[in-house]
Amino acid sequence: MGLFDQIINAIDNPSQQGSTGQLGDIVNTVQQLSNRTGADPSTMQSVIGIVGSYVRSALQEKQAHDGNAEAQAVVNQYGGTSPSSQAVNSLFSLGMQRQVAEAVSQRTGLDAGMIEQLLPVLVPIVLNFLKTGASSQAGGNSVLNSFLDADNDGDVDIADAMQMATRYLGR
């Protein structure tokens, strides 16, 4: 099952935190980023996908070293649509932040300096997608588990999930 399917299942499941309002906030934030940067929405979705692959690697590392609870804690604490440099710093060293920005720049043509400045918005958006699967009660997070247990082929479908969310919400 794809990541977007997991997100939709979380939205439909009253025992999980996901909602169409949360999805709408994510889509609106990405559209605002597109407007602010002058990048078209599909480029911004690609940016989110690339950043998402680095977030996945960082969360997998955190999970391997500190356990599932720590990876979930990062998602719960920093997932949202408000800028948070703490979210970026919790996952990436300064050198890694530059590496992420350079990778995004090489693949999208956007300025690496601008991408580095946008990371405090982009990382919480990715984490917010993952937060949709968190249980309203105590328990796991099906979306996060699906994201972290991916086949490591480098094809993180956050960008696809973003595109499908936009279509799902009719925007």
- Structure confidence at residue 44 as a pLDDT band (50, 70, 90): very high
- pLDDT, average across residues 142-164: 65
pLDDT in tens, 66-81: 988 899 999 999 999 8
On whether the CB atoms of residues 98 and 90 are closer than 8 A, the answer is no
- Structure confidence at residue 169 as a pLDDT band (50, 70, 90): confident
pLDDT in tens, 83-103: 999 999 999 999 999 999 999
- Structure confidence at residue 154 as a pLDDT band (50, 70, 90): very low
d(C-alpha 138, C-alpha 140), whole Å = 7
> Could you give the 3-state DSSP secondary structure of residue 54?
helix
> Which residue would you say has higher pLDDT here, 109 or 170?
109
d(C-alpha 136, C-alpha 139), whole Å = 8
Please write down the long-range contacts of 81-89, taking CB distance under 8 Å and 24 or more positions apart. 81/25, 81/26, 81/28, 81/29, 81/121, 81/124, 81/125, 81/128, 82/124, 83/120, 83/121, 83/124, 84/120, 84/123, 84/124, 85/119, 85/120, 87/120, 87/123, 87/124, 87/127, 88/119, 88/120, 88/123
